[in-house]
Amino acid sequence: MRVVKTRCDICGHTGCTLKISTDSGKIIKIEGDPEDPRTNGKICTQALAIKEILSSKERLTHPLIKTKNNEWKTATWNEALTIIAAKLTKLKEKHGPKSIAFATGYSRNYGRTVNTYIDQLAKWIGTPNNTGMEHICAIPRKRSMSYVFGPIHPWQSADLTNSNCITLWGINPVHDPPRIKTINNALEADKTLIAVDPRATPFAKKADLHLQLRPGTDGALALSMLNVIISKEYYNKDFVNNWTTGFNQLKEHVDAYSPEKVSKITWLDEDDIVEAATLYATKGPSSIDHGNGLDQHTNNFQTNRAIASLIALCGNVDISGGNLLQYGSTNDPPYDPSKLRAAVGQERLPIVGRAHMPSYWRAILTEKPYKIHGMYIYGTNPAVTDCDTQTVKKALGELEFLVVVDLFMTETAKYADVVLPATSFLETELYHGGEKVVDPPGEAWPDEKIVIELAKKMGYNVEQRTRKSVKPSVPEVKYMRYLEKGFQTSSGKVEFYSKLLAEQGIDPLPVFVEPFESPSSRDLGSDYPLVLTTGAKLPMFTHSQFRNIPRLSNLFPCNYFMINPVTAVKYGVVDGDDILVESPSGRLSGPVRTVSDLVEDVVQVFHGFNDMNANLLTSSSFFDSGNGSPGMKSSLCRIFKEK
C-alpha cells in the first residue's frame, strides 16, 4: 500500500490536498488531508469520484483517426502526429499561418503549464489565433479591473479570513471546501455577510442581506452603492485623496444612479441598496468575493470597473481583510500584444487584446476577417459550453482539419479528424503541486508531451520542462504594496477615470448599459418578457465533464428549467410540466421545476448538458465590447407549456 499526498485538479481551481492510497498501481482510496488548513480533510463530490473517472471504460486510450467513411481507426502516436504535422504544415503553406487556430480550456494539470507549449507552438507556426474560454471565465473581471488598478496585477483576491464584511457577488462557493470553511468561520464570528445573486443560494440564505437582483444589472447596483457612499461621505478620504485620480468626476457621475432610480432597474428595494452600501463602507475591512456571475454578460466590462471602484473608494485595496492585489507567478516572458492585432476578433473587439473564441466560428463560416481552416482544441468542449451551439457545431463541421485532445470522446471531439487521448492530473508529473500517482490507461499522453512531440514533428526544437527546471515562484502575501512603488497605472494611482479608455473612445467612467437583450427593449422585451439566465455550477460536474460517470450522473441525471412559483402561476405551469423555452436565438424543451429561491420573471437552466443544452438558447450576435463576453446569464426568453 502506498499513500501519496497531492493537489487535486478535478475542478481546475481550488487545489485541495488529497491523500491517494494505491496498491499494485491502482487507486484504492481517496480522502482529504486533515492537515490541509483550508479544508480540514473535507473534499468535494467530484474528488470522491476520481477513481471512477480515471478507470472509466469510456476513457480514450489510443489516438484515433477518422476514415473516409466517418469511422474511427486506432492509430499509433507516430502515425497520428505525422498526419497532424503534415496537415498543419500544408494549411500554413496553402492558406497562411493565420488559418490555423488553437482553442484551450481546462488543463489536466494544476498550473496550466501546457499553455506555455501551446503558446510557443502558435508563435512558431506564426498564428495569432490562440485563446481559451476567457471570454466567459475569470478573465473579464481581471481585464476590467486592470483599467482601475493597473495591468501588472494579474488578479485580485478577497482576504475573507480577515474581513469584517464579506460580499459574495455572483459567486456560490458552497461547493468550494476552502471557501466554505472560511465563510462559515466568519459567520460564527458574527462577521457581516452580503450576497448579490438572483438565486437564494445556501450562503445567500445565511446572509445578513441578500440582494436578489435582476440578472445583468450588477453594474447599476455598484454605481448606486457608490452614490450612497459618496453622498453620505462614508468613503475613505485618506486613500481617495492620496491614492486615486478622477474622484470628482466619479462623484458627479454617480449622481445619476440614485437608489430610487436603480431600484427600478435592478428589481431591488431602495432601502436594501442603501443598507448594502452602508454595511460595506462602515463595517470594514470589507472584501468582495466575485465569480462567474459577473463574467457572462454583454455589459460586464463597465460592471467590473464599477465594483473595482467600490473597492477603492472605501480603501479596501491591498489591506488585511480587503481585496489583495498580488503579483502572479510565471517563468515565461510576456507576449507582445502588438503582434496579436491580426487575431480573429480583434477587428471588432480591440480591447480584448488577443483572439476571441466565438469569433472563430464566425470566421470559419463567413471568412471575416479571414477564414480559419484548421484547429487544435484541447481541454474544452465548445460544442456544448460556448454560446450559440448551432453556430459552433456548423463551424466545426466546416473545418478542413480538426484535432481534439481530451479524456473522453466529447461532443466536440466527434467533429475531429484526429482525436488524441490525454492523461488526468494523477497520471502526470505536475510542475505545480504533485507527482504522478498512477499510470494512464492504454497509451494516453500528458498534454505537454503531445504538444512537444507535435512541435518536433513540425521541425521545431522544444526543451521539455521538468519539475526540477521550474523555479519556485509563489506570490508573497504583502499588504499595501502601493506604498513602495504606487499602482501600475500611468498615474501611479487607482484610476476612477481612465484616460486610457477615453483615448480609445470608451466611457472613461464606469457606466451602466442594459444587457443586449433587455426587458427595457420595447420590441424585444414585449415579445420575450422573461429574463433567461444559464449556468450555475453543479457540485458533481465541471462544466460539461463527468456526466458519463454513473456515480456522479446519478446524483443529477437530467437538466431542467427553474422558475419562481409566482411566475409559474402566471404562465399556467406546475412543477414537473414539460415546457418549451424560446429565445431570440433558439428553442429548447424540458421539464420545469418551481423554486422559490429564484427571483420572479426569470428562467434559469443549468449548462453543460448535451441532451438539454442551454446554449441552444444563447446568442453570438453581440458581445461585451471590453471582454468579448456573451449574455449567457442575462438574455430574454418566453415559455409555453408543452401539450
CA distance from start to end of the chain: 59
Which H/E stretch holds residue 82?
Answer: helix 77-95
Q: What is the CATH number of domain 522-641?
A: 2.40.40.20
Delimit the CATH 2.40.40.20 region(s) of the chain: 522-641
What are the beta bridge partners of residue 637? 530
Q: What is the pLDDT of residues 539-555, one digit of tens each?
A: 999 999 999 999 999 99
Q: Which CATH number fits domain 2-54: 3.40.50.300, 1.20.120.530, 1.20.1630.10, 3.30.200.210?
A: 3.30.200.210
**Predicted local confidence at residue 445, as pLDDT:** 96
What is the percent of the chain where pLDDT is above 70?
Answer: 93
What pLDDT score was predicted for residue 299? Answer: 98
Partners of 542 in the beta sheet?
545
Q: Are 528 and 517 in contact (CB under 8 A)?
A: yes
Beta-carbon contacts of residue 213 (< 8 Å; ≥ 6 apart): 196, 197, 198, 221, 266, 267, 268, 599
Positive or negative, the Cα torsion across 106, 107, 110, 113?
A: negative
At 311, the pLDDT band (50, 70, 90 cuts) reads very high
* The predicted structure's pLDDT at residue 332: 44
C-beta separation of 127 from 102 below 8 A: yes
Which amino acid is located at 336 in the chain? D
pLDDT band at 474 (very low <50, low <70, confident <90, very high): low
pLDDT of the residue at 112: 55
Nearest to 189 by CA among 157, 161, 170: 161
Spatial CA neighbour of 129 closest among 339, 352, 354, 334: 354
CATH code for the domain defined by 64-135+339-469:
3.40.50.740
The CA R_g of the chain, rounded to the nearest whole Å, is: 24
Q: Which runs of consecutive H residues, i.e. helices, occur in 289-342?
A: 300-313
Whole-model pTM above 0.85? yes
Delimit the CATH 3.30.200.210 region(s) of the chain: 2-54
C-alpha grid cell, residue 488:
501600475
Residue 439, CA atoms < 13 Å, CB-side half-sphere: 7
Residue of 131, 128, 130, 132 whose CA lies nearest to 96: 128
Residue 486 Ramachandran class (φ > 0 left, ψ -120 to 50 alpha, else beta): left
Give the mean model confidence (pLDDT) for residues 27-40. Answer: 92
3-state secondary structure of 80: helix
3-class SS of residue 217 = coil
Domain topology for 139-327+486-503: Dimethylsulfoxide Reductase; domain 2 (3.40.228)
